[in-house]
Amino acid sequence: MLTVSLNGVEFFAYHGFYQEEQLIGGRFIVDLSVAFKPVDELSADDITHTVNYETLHSICRSEMSETRKLIETVAQAIINQVTTQYPFVEQVDVLLKKMHPPLSGPVNHSAVRITYNKGDN
């Protein structure tokens, strides 16, 4: 199994249950890991034989730009896009952190993690 990951990808976005969050926005951090069995020899040194992390970044950027109430919805949308783009993937793990959520005291981040396993579907 081979894993391609992006870690600590930062975005400014407008996700949040409360209207104020959707107006003022905030910082979010995405960690994304995609695992698969290579379909061809990696020694071919060909990007079409792997998952392109530039494409993964583009998927994250696109989904983060869609304002949603729940970060769970955003994480699932990232997974949906990855599995559509790369139907051969076996596992996708998304950890989405909302930095300094508006709570009654200091909180570094809230987070949601969703893991897709091909065999579970």
- Going residue by residue through the chain, which has 121 residues, state the pLDDT in tens, using 9 for 90 and above: 899 999 999 999 999 998 988 999 999 999 999 999 987 777 777 787 789 999 999 999 999 999 999 999 999 999 999 999 999 999 999 999 999 998 889 999 999 999 999 988 6
In contact, 96 and 75? CB cutoff 8 Å: yes
Q: Check if 37 is active-site.
A: no
Domains of the chain, earliest start first: 2-120 (3.30.1130.10)
* pTM (2 d.p.): 0.93
Give the Cα separation of 75 and 91 in Å (integer).
14
What is the reported pLDDT for 41?
Answer: 73
In contact, 78 and 25? CB cutoff 8 Å: no
Active-site residue, from 37, 69, 98, 118:
98
Give the Cα separation of 31 and 12 in Å (integer).
15
